[in-house]
Amino acid sequence: MTASSVQGRVHLQYNDADESNGLASNPVEAAAEMVGRASEAVLNSVVQLTGKRQIRALGESLVETIHSSLDATAVAFVAVNSPIHFPACMFPKKNALPESSLLECVQKCSRQKQVVSERHDDSVLTAFPIMVNGNTVKVLLIKSIMEMSEHQISLLTGFARVYENFLNVMLDMETDSLTGLLNKKAYYSQVLAVLEDDDSAVCEQSGDPKFFWLVIFDVDKFKKINDTFGHLYGDEILLLVANTMIKVFDDEDLLFRFGGDEFVVLLSPRTKEKAREVLKQFQKEIAGIRNDKLWPVRCSIGGVNASGAENPTDLLVQADRALYYVKENGRGKIAFYCDLLDDGVMTNEHFEDDIELF
Ligand SMILES: Nc1nc2c(ncn2[C@@H]2O[C@H](COP(=O)(O)OP(=O)(O)OP(=O)(O)O)[C@@H](O)[C@H]2O)c(=O)[nH]1
């Protein structure tokens, strides 16, 4: 048997194949060949998986692989106490599973950190833990009619390990090393994924529309903080700012550090008043950090309505224009791009290449 690779696919070649069924005529060789062909399929799946560059694409590819190689009725990734924001569940809507049985199985697998298999009525749920830093962050959940064989379990455990290794590498790539927040590299795909799932503005009981808000902020006179108290103290302030973001903003909000003293938040749907309220609360909280130095930390904030937007980079440009306006007009305030347009302070011009994402 020889192996070759054409356009990213692995081909194993066999000798003396029977023309009629493509298998060797000798039964021992035929059995070996079947195993070989199965290995080829697995190898190709692994090649496909490891070619992905985004967590979401990796997950979708694995779900597809499992669907095509097993008799599963549903395949899902379910997030468990995730430190960053993953899409909660990834599997075809037509194969949706009932929430209660899912939850039970996911929790058990997450707690025990090992494969769990349970029968629920006429189907079997099998769950594989996906770990980051010793904690279960996701569970690969498979629903099937029949119980999984030992061979299938070990194959799926292997796929789950490949996914887990890649997830760890990608998390390293998409996370800011100082604060643990998402980094600039993660911005485009993470924001796009959330906005693509957005089924437009939802109305509150009062009738006020709720929107996503993309917010960018920058610590005021941060250079002065560095110059006065030292770079290490500056780092501590950045860390405390990040911790305050985690404390004040919701679990569903996406939190980024873009570098230096620049941070970005995608606020989950709320009215403009509620968005302003939480941003004011944030400003109040950071004014109190390390106040032993009698140097209140302040920040300027620019925001833009992000609902319905198709290009996360355009949002960043508009929020940045609102932030720039605040910086130019006394700092320490909050401005929304739509208000600046309404007030005639700026026009909705199209700026290209204002912000470099990568
Ligand atoms: N401590 C620390 N400083 C950093 C880091 N990255 C960038 N900086 C510094 O952060 C400062 C950013 O300053 P700017 O945002 O340009 O300006 P500013 O002083 O905050 O002034 P305004 O934004 O106009 O209010 C620069 O002095 C950078 O050298 C970092 O990781 N840690």
- 280-329: pLDDT as tens digits: 999 999 998 877 777 889 999 999 999 988 899 999 999 999 999 999 99
Task: Give the residue-averaged pLDDT of 5-33.
Answer: 54
Could you read off the pLDDT of 39-51 as tens digits, one per residue?
676 677 777 766 6
Query: What CA–CA distance (Å, rounded) separates 298 from 254?
Result: 21
Cα dihedral: 259, 262, 265, 270 (round 10): 180
Q: Which of 34-38, 80-84, 279-283, 295-299 has the highest mean pLDDT?
A: 279-283
Contact (Cβ atoms closer than 8 angstroms) between residue 256 and residue 263: yes
More confident residue, 12 or 41: 41
CA of 77 to the centre of ligand 1 (A): 39
Confidence of residue 196 (pLDDT cuts 50, 70, 90): confident
* Tokens 């110059």 -> residue: 227
178, 223, 241, 295: residue to mutate for ligand 1 pocket, most atoms within 8 A of CB: 223
Q: Is 231 in the pocket of ligand 1 (CB under 6 A)?
A: yes
CA of 333 to the centre of ligand 1 (A): 18
Could you read off the pLDDT of 207-237 as tens digits, one per residue?
678 999 999 999 999 999 999 999 999 999 9
Query: What CA–CA distance (Å, rounded) separates 108 from 129?
Result: 10
pLDDT greater than 90 at residue 339: yes
pLDDT greater than 90 at residue 354: no
pLDDT at 32: 65
User: What is the 8-class DSSP label of residue 18?
Assistant: -
Q: CA-based Rg of the chain, rounded to a whole angstrom?
A: 25
Query: What CA–CA distance (Å, rounded) separates 132 from 164?
Result: 8
Q: Which atom of ligand 1 is nearest to the CA of 219?
A: 20
Q: Which of 152-156, 236-240, 350-354 has the highest mean pLDDT?
A: 236-240
Q: Which residues pair with 334 in a beta bridge?
A: 301
Query: What CA–CA distance (Å, rounded) separates 143 from 266?
Result: 34
**Class of residue 230 by CB neighbours under 10 A (exposed 0-12, middle 13-18, buried 19+):** exposed
More confident residue, 8 or 342: 342
Confidence of residue 92 (pLDDT cuts 50, 70, 90): very low
Q: Helices marked H in the chain — which ranges?
A: 27-50, 55-69, 99-112, 150-174, 184-197, 222-229, 231-248, 272-287, 312-328, 337-342
Confidence of residue 206 (pLDDT cuts 50, 70, 90): low
pLDDT at 321: 95
Average pLDDT, the chain: 81
Q: Which atom of ligand 1 is nearest to the CA of 232?
A: 1
Query: What CA–CA distance (Å, rounded) separates 287 from 114?
Result: 45
Q: Is 234 in the pocket of ligand 1 (CB under 6 A)?
A: yes
Confidence of residue 66 (pLDDT cuts 50, 70, 90): confident
Q: Give ∠ CA 274-276-280 in degrees, rounded to 5.
A: 115
Q: Is 327 in the pocket of ligand 1 (CB under 6 A)?
A: yes
